[in-house]
Structure 1
Amino acid sequence: MKAFVRLSLIASTALIAPVQAFAAEAAPAEQPAQDGGVSSRAASGDVIIVTARRRQETAQAVPLAISVIRGDSIEATGNFNVQKLQQLAPTLQVYSSNPRNTSVNIRGLGVPFGLTSDGFEQGVGIYIDDVYNSRVAAAVFDFLDVAQVEVLRGPQGTLYGKNTTAGAINITTNQPTFDFEARAEVSAGNLDYRQAKAAVSGPLTDKIAARLALATTSRRGIYFNTTTDRYINEQDNLGLRGQLLFKPNDDVSITLSGDYSKQNPEGVGTVFVRVGRTQRALNRQYDALVAAINVDRAARGVAPYAVPSRNPYDRLSDLDSSLNAGNKIGGASARVVWDTGSGTFTSVSAWRFWDWKPENDRDFTGLSIVSKSQNPSQQDQYSQEFRYNYSSDKFDFVAGLFGFKQRIDTQGTEQQGADASRWSLTGAQASQPAILQGLTASNTQYLKSTSAALFGQVAWHVTPELTIQPGVRLNYDKKSGFYQRVVTNGQGQVISCSPAPAAGSVLAAQCGVYQPQISAPSDSAWNFTYDFNVNYKIARDVLAYATYAKSFKTLGINQNGLPLNADNTVNYDAGTVKPESVHHFEVGLKTQFWDRRATFNLTAFRTEIKNFQATVNGGQFGTVRGYLANAEKVRSQGIEADFKVRPSDRFTAYANGAYTDAKYKKFTNAPCPPELSGGTLQPAGAPANYSQPGVPGALSPRQCDISGQGLPGVSKWAFSYGAEVNAPVELLSKEGQIYFGVDGNYRSKWNSNASPSIYTEVKGYALTNFRAGFRADDFDVFGWVRNAFDVDYIDLLQVAPGNTGLIAGQPGDQRTWGGTIKYSF
């Protein structure tokens, strides 16, 4: 707590110009306010209207940390989905090895970092037009006709339907209009980049309006696969949205929406990054295993194996398994808004689906170790929210009911290949490919999830300057799952590992790779949480606030197979994980000055979580996916600031930054990082010995105490900036502006493994983008360069299973360039 007080004092006195963000944007035409939030512009400066508290108000009047990014800013800077949005919002972190395995975190918190299990909740809620999207796959799709994105930091459970412990991303699309309007946009660039967007809106009758939007994106992959002789990790996106607005009178509006998006790229693949020594015997580590496989190949007259490049920035891969990231998402919703005179009643009914058809190469090599890995799933969710808003001079309040139901069905297959015996077995068995070749684990699983909540928040305006704002939430969650793994050998015969097979037998070798499992975890929980905010208007454009929130993230169940004990039996105790208990403190200052031409906001926060739900992986092939476990205590604290200035219509600039110190305060039984794994386990009950990391043949700790180490995926320092200058000109008989813009971002180093490893540290990097063009009232044409200085950087590193020391990764985009033309009428 003392550290938090120190942070608060620093935050209240420091005048650092960086964090979270308003992006530089072209001056849009003034738009009418709609339910869902739009922006308008005052003569002296920006007035940004948001619905963060489920009512329309200016962003500067909201006593919480919020970043607002307008649709034109998103388009101008090329940040076309949530993954790219983190370049504008420094405390937002998004990491993805494929659409399913995507982490969206704020301040280092939200979801466990690593391979994903469906059995836990998202700590960062993604809402599109008031509809909650339960799976983070929505983060990888293109924004479609977006008006505005609000990134809310900190717990939001007393305002939003689904509980959110770390924050929320509130996306508002453009709504149907009773005045005809249309817009079209096309972009083209290197890497065969093509993107087209179009939207049309207008009246069908005097009471019904419609809007239709379309977006499509394609781009050549950024890695070349020498095995298949083609590029992988391409973009192949299509999105559609249709909306009908029915206004029977001035008090009622009914909006029906339907959307559908799909991706069908070849991917998602990786490249070789490095090899790090583990405690496995030296002849069982990556380079020695490849050498042994090449001896076998030579005996068969087959060319030796070598990775196409050990420089990841050559972007060469040789993955030999099928790759696919087929991804379909969509749904329908009905939103009813009724102005009752004394308040506003809102009902949001929604159904959403997600079909996921992946194929991966889970050994990350061109060797046939894991020859097949795929876990397709089909997900359906239903949600209903009722909300009532009331505003008066003395009181404002929102009260809501939320119901949610979800079912996820998954059918998985993982199969061992011709090189698996040499890779995973020892002694004479290593030279017998038939022992593991064709060994197949087939799993069937489902998850049923139900939740219901009653939530509300009251704002009592004690004086015109002082407001006291308490909020409460009562939540019920129930989860039940089923998981069954059937294992067959190369002849298609079902194997059993109970009773334990004789040591050294073929069956024992097969059971050491895949074990049959069956489990049906189920649990439920009630939670009562609350928050309390006090805010004071020091002057007309100066607002100070302080918040305390007691929040939670509900229980989780391990849905993708359970880990094995030291004796190779299934650890059924790991079937469920406890709910997280969250204590959150925040103070902030929101200011505008220079006749509102300049905005400067400052926030200090501290979040403490008990029973933090972490994704862990012990490196076993037998664990099909990472599993969940509770870390005893986690803490995230930091300072955020954002600054924006718009001295005239000719120039605008912003600078944003964040310092985030997120760490495991206590995690005593974590899986060990690769440098402390792979050897014979240390004696049970003996104190763990960490003194021989990366020493082949050394004894490995059974678990590692990683207390005090940083959370994965979090940079301590993150900054973004941007500026745009323009001048009036007449071009092609059109009066308009020529303009030049620059934006960039920096992130300091971070670690890419749940238990931080010396081999998975990602170096910090800075990216810079430029754009220049001409725009008029209905026309905009510009050229752009992204990652203009062709900086080499890594998006994600992954530890290959088996403790062989192999580290694979995904380098980020190289320099890209192109042009965009937009036209509206």
Structure 2
Amino acid sequence: MIVRSLLLATAASASILAPAAFAQDASTAPAEAAEQADQGEPSRGEVIIVTARRRQEAAQEVPLAISVIRGDSIESTGNFNIVKLQQLAPTLQVYTSNPRNTSVNIRGLGVPFGLTSDGFEQGVGIYVDDVYNSRVASATFDFLDVAQVEVLRGPQGTLYGKNTTAGAINITTNQPTFDFEGRAELTVGNLNYKQAKAAISGPLTDKIAARLAIASTSRRGTIYNVASGQWINEQDNLGLRGQLLFQPTEDLSITLSGDYSRQDPECCGTVFVRVGTTQRALNRQYDALVAAVNAANPGRNYAVPSRNPYDRLTDLDSSLNAGNKIGGASAKVKWDLGSGTLTSVTAWRFWDWKPENDRDFTGLSIVSLSQNPSQQDQYSQEFRYNYTSDQFDFVLGAFGFKQRIDTQGTEQQGADASRWSLTGTQAANAAILNGLTASNTQYLKSTSAALFGQVSWKVTDALTIQPGARVNYDKKSGFYERIVTNGAGQVISCTPTPAAGSVLAAQCGVYQPQVSSPSDSAWNFTYDFNVNYKFARDILGYATYAKSFKTLGINQNGLPLNADNTVNYDAGTVKPESVNHFEIGLKTQFLDRRATFNLSAFRTEIKNFQATVNGGQFGTVRGYLANAEKVRSQGIEADFKVTPNERLSAYANAAYTDAKYKKFTNAPCPPELSGGTLQGANATPDYSQPGVPGALSPRQCDISGQALPGVSKWAFSYGVEVNAPVTLLAKEGQAYLGVDGNYRSEWNSNASPSIYTEVKGYALTNFRAGFRGDGFDVFGWVRNAFDVNYIDLLQVAPGNVGLIAGQPGDPRTWGMTIKGSF
């Protein structure tokens, strides 16, 4: 029994050669590996243990598409947060303008991107040690003392506390141990990059163990702001985690955890990328407006510092900040009842977001102030009962969740705003808009409760039938108030509608006072059904159907305006998504289980898809939620890993994703079809003059058949590592050389795809070489070794002036890492 326990513990924690993500990269099942050890047989491959189905099992035995990324792999490839993780898992795509405005997609579905409300659910659930993180922003921390990350693809509602339609990211940290151990890591590199990590674990008594981990990351920014004389988009992160394990008996364990993460960079700014003509009058587009500002200010001669985004120069004149504080505490109780295991997870988490942005993306004083700080508290409670027998396994669970988010926003127009946004004689009167301020107060209350369960019926040794079901209740209520004051500090009102051509009409055309109190609730019943069959010892096939949902959403950051500048209160709530998901998969191993090849094909259809849209307004309504009638995502994923001997390890993963709006007939138009006088209310929309100044603009656009934003059709990742035994400085170990890389094809970053926001595909290559032995590892690394120029994100500047801003990806970086453990 002792040998068996040691074998399983080693298999679950050791993977120094696994350089990256691979789909369900398991070999023998735990019981089978132990049986081999008892019989004196050599284990024919490492065992990857996962908890995707809320119990420990070999990943290759789970009839689910899943990528497993080991902690050592994350560290060796430098992918130390969720944003970076996409370089290892092709089916995962993340794009971000700052921590709050981060989109995490799996198979093209997940979190809508945009400066929008908090009143929607994310389609990709993020869990850390079984604790659900309700906002993507609250999970943008650096990975700290992570054992492994599991990326689950497809709907997850019958096994996880919070229902998710696209998948889940399940992060497991290293737990307290009753054996004294510790580890430390130090990395230095160019751009003044410094990262330090340390963890220590051990017993306090024979029944209590503790673990403490800390990490700090800093790096100079990659964009130089000529206006402030500072490098921006830097990294300045600190993370702490403490855990206490109380194990009074072999059958009962209680783990108390607390964590805190702080990010305080001067971030997140953009650079000029391009100008694309819209349907505004030519003298109301970017280049002409800059010329008009210069003409009105003799001697000014404003121009962006560079029109080449890869010069990495900007001139943003507003304060930048991306202050982010994240933390919480949890209590996890596991009680082995003999017939099964009862688990309770109680958690509280907070998120404190303090941003400052330059919302006009220029060095002109158009928007002089933009900030939208938020404070979140969330509470969750989950109960699960797991039962395992020779013929039946099942999980029954209950989940409760409560959240409140308070936000206080301020946006203010600057001295150049009138010239930029107004026409005629008003454009010359800076006082009309200078100092015009929108002050927003809002809160969101969200409550959710669910009962869920899944049964695995082993009909025969080869055939298993696995149904699951979920009953879910959600309630959301919010409050939003925007008060608008002019430059003299006087409160303005836009009711009744001010006279056309008046100063008040001009001010109301930029910011309108609003008050809204959206509220709604919904019940949902969903289910899934999986059939899996073991064709041979190392060949598992499965088929899954899931009927899932994403619950209702509310627009919690202001409502869009109608064509007559009145508030569209009908947009206050959005319908729940209805999801039908189909998937088949094959999981195989060969070459004496030293090679793994897994294949999955899927099709997901969603009615009432909750899309983020943007009407191009300059005011505080940067984006809002709307229902697209139908969306479809389909594709194929393949994952391969081979370890032919202890000197070589290689992997290759690929994903093809075809994600489209099947039907979205009333979407906002892209910038090339916006900005002109609106076509007649009953006219058939005319899309024939994109980018033609002065052309009539459709009131809305039918974008059916176009690709979803943030989705690359093709994505690949690969890696190879070779090693040789050497003795260096009287130390025996391995010298090793590794290469890994990834490719993503082009994708669009605008909700209504635009010819101006297509992000070109790119391929990145990374190298590392080092020497490791018992308890140490020293290696040098180069990331983006060929200094490829690529864009992380493109954004459309407000006002339909044609300005496209963006954030270039990291240039070539290099450095050295030293790791030690005992």
The two structures have a TM-score, normalised by structure 2, of 0.95
Choose the corresponding residue for 1:681, options 643, 656, 678: 678
Amino acid at match of 1:566: A
Letter of the structure 2 residue corresponding to residue 794 of structure 1 = I
> How far does residue 376 in structure 1 lie from its aligned partner after superposition?
0.2
Residues in 2 aligned to 1:105 and 1:480: alpha-carbon distance in whole angstroms: 26
CA shift, 1:137, in A, is 1.3
| Aligned counterpart in structure 1 of residue 690 of structure 2, from 690, 693, 709 | 693
1:523 is aligned to 520
CA contact 1:23–1:722 (8 Å) conserved in 2: no
Identify the match of residue 777 of structure 2 among 780, 795, 798.
780
Say if 2:388 is the partner of 1:391: yes
CA contact (8 A) 1:674 1:757 kept: yes
Map residues 131-530 of structure 1 onto 2, 5 A cutoff: 131-298=131-298, 302-530=299-527
Residues 663-674 of structure 1 mapped to structure 2, 5 A cutoff: 663-674=660-671
d(CA) in 2 for partners of 1:788, 1:140: 25
Note the C-alpha offset of 1:691: 0.3
Any idea what SS the aligned residue of 2:793 has? strand
Aligned residue identity for 1:764: G
Q: Which amino acid aligns with 1:283?
A: N
Of the three residues 547, 551, 566, the one matched with 1:550 is 547
Structure 2: runs of 5 or more not aligned: 1-19, 34-40
Which residue does 1:640 correspond to in 2? 637
Judge conservation of contact 1:325–1:356 (CA < 8 Å) in 2: yes
- The Cα of 1:181 is off from its aligned counterpart by 0.1
| Distance (Å, rounded) in 2 between the aligned partners of 1:164 and 1:525 | 16
Alignment check: 8 A CA contact 2:342 2:386 kept: yes
Deviations 1:215-253 (A, max 9, x none): 000000000000000100000000000000000000000
1:85-164 correspondence runs (5 A): 85-164=85-164
In structure 2, the residue matched to 1:742 is 739
The amino acid across from 2:602 in the alignment is F
Tell me, in whole angstroms, the C-alpha distance in 1 between the residues paired with 2:42 and 2:800: 60
SS of match in other structure, 2:297: helix
CA distance in 1, matches of 2:262, 2:623: 26
Mapping for residues 73-92 of structure 1, pairs under 5 Å: 73-92=73-92
Taking the aligned partners of 1:395 and 1:747, their CA distance within structure 2 comes to: 42
Number of paired residues? 792
Say which SS state the counterpart of residue 622 (structure 2) adopts: coil
Post-superposition offset of 1:277: 0.3
SS at match of 2:22: coil
What whole-Å deviation, never above 9, does each CA across 1:179-208 have from its counterpart, x for those lacking one? 000000000000000000000000000000
Match of 2:529 in 1: 532
In structure 2, give the amino acid aligned to 1:235: Q
For 1:259 and 1:226, how far apart are their aligned partners in 2? 37
CA distance in 2, matches of 1:21, 1:625: 36
Report the Cα distance in structure 2 between the residues aligned to 1:628 and 1:566, rounded to whole angstroms: 18
Return the match for 2:627 from 622, 626, 630: 630
| Aligned AA (2:578) | S
- Work out whether residues 114 and 615 of structure 1, in 8 Å CA contact, stay in contact via their aligned partners in 2: yes
Amino acid at match of 1:631: A
TM-score, normalisation: structure 1: 0.95
SS at match of 1:179: coil
Answer whether contact 1:24 1:653 (CA < 8 A) is retained.
no
Distance between the aligned counterparts of 1:44 and 1:551, measured in 2?
A: 39
Q: Partner of 1:47: helix, strand, or coil? A: coil
Farther off after superposition, 302-311 or 235-244: 302-311
After superposition, what is the alpha-carbon deviation per residue over 1:61-85, rounded to whole angstroms, capped at 9, x for unaligned? Answer: 0001000000000000000001111
Shift of 1:24: 13
Tell me which amino acid in the other structure corresponds to 1:177: T
Q: Quick one: distance in 2 between partners of 1:679 and 1:141?
A: 43
Q: Does 1:591 align with 2:600?
A: no
Partner letter of residue 721 of structure 2? E
Question: Shift of the alpha carbon at 1:651?
Answer: 0.3
Note if contact 2:343-2:383 (Cα within 8 Å) is conserved in structure 1.
yes
Letter in 2 for 1:342: S
CA positional deviation for 1:625: 2.8
Q: Does 1:620 align with 2:627?
A: no
Query: What amino acid does structure 2 have at the position aligned with 1:570?
Result: V
Tell me if the contact between 1:114 and 1:753 (Cα under 8 Å) persists in the aligned partners: no
Q: 2 CA distance for matches of 1:263 and 1:766?
A: 29
Q: CA deviation at 1:171?
A: 0.2
**2:454–2:468 CA contact under 8 A, matched in 1:** yes
Maintained 8 Å contact 2:138/2:351:
no
Percent of pairs identical after alignment?
Answer: 85
Q: Give, in whole Å, the separation in 1 of the partners of 2:61 and 2:742.
A: 27
Contact in 2 for aligned 1:148/1:172 (Cα 8 Å): yes
Distance across 2 between alignment mates of 1:230 and 1:451: 45
Residue 56 (structure 1) aligned with residue 61 (structure 2): no
Structure 2 equivalent of residue 766 of structure 1 = 763
What SS is found at the alignment partner of 2:446? strand
Instruction: In structure 2, give the amino acid aligned to 1:79.
Output: N
Alpha-carbon separation, structure 1, partners of 2:48 and 2:117: 38
- Shift of the 424–818 alpha-carbon distance from structure 1 to 2, 3 Å rule, reads same
User: Does 1:573 find its partner at 2:570?
Assistant: yes
Return the alpha-carbon distance in structure 2 between the equivalents of residues 819 and 719 of structure 1. 26
Task: Encode CA deviations 1:470-500: one digit per residue, 9 max, x unaligned.
Answer: 0000000000000000000000000000000
Shift of 1:47: 1.0
Q: For 2:660 and 2:364, locate their aligned partners in 1 and report how far apart those are by CA, in whole Å.
A: 37
Letter in 1 for 2:113: F
Kept in 2, the 8 Å contact 1:638–1:660? The answer is yes
Q: CA deviation at 1:697?
A: 0.3
8 Å contact from structure 1 (residues 563, 623) kept in 2: no
- For 1:500, what is the secondary structure of its paired residue? coil
Q: Deviations over 1:536-559 (max 9, x none)?
A: 000001000000000000000000
Code of the residue aligned with 2:805 in structure 1: it is A
Note the C-alpha offset of 1:595.
Answer: 1.0
Alpha-carbon distance, 1:46 to partner: 2.1
Residue 608 (structure 1) aligned with residue 605 (structure 2):
yes
Given that 1:413 and 1:441 are in contact with CA atoms closer than 8 Å, whether structure 2 keeps it comes out as yes
SS of 2:47 mapped into structure 1 = strand
CA contact (8 A) 2:176 2:202 kept: yes
Contact 2:21 2:70 in 1 (8 A): no
CA deviations over 1:13-61 (Å, ceiling 9, x no partner): xxxxxxx932999x9xx9xx9xxxxxxx984212100000001110000
Tell me by how many angstroms 1:462 deviates: 0.1
- Structure 2 distance, partners of 1:380, 1:266, is 25
Q: CA RMSD for the aligned pairs?
A: 1.5
Amino acid at match of 1:273: V
Correspondence for 1:16:
none
Whole-Å separation in 2 of the counterparts to 1:170 and 1:521: 32
Counterpart of 1:37?
Answer: none
Match of 1:101, as an amino acid? N
1:777 to partner: Cα distance: 1.3
**Shift in CA distance, 167/628, structure 1 to aligned 2, threshold 3 Å:** same
Determine if contact 2:597/2:639 at 8 Å carries over to the other structure. yes
Superposed CA offset, 1:97-131 (max 9, x none): 00000001100001113223200001100000000
> Is the 8 Å Cα contact of residues 649 and 720 (structure 2) preserved in structure 1?
yes
- Note if contact 2:24-2:68 (Cα within 8 Å) is conserved in structure 1: no
The answer to whether the 8 A contact 1:555-1:578 is kept is yes
Distance, in Å, in 2 between the alignment partners of 1:274 and 1:763 is 14
Find the counterpart in structure 1 of residue 558 from structure 2: 561
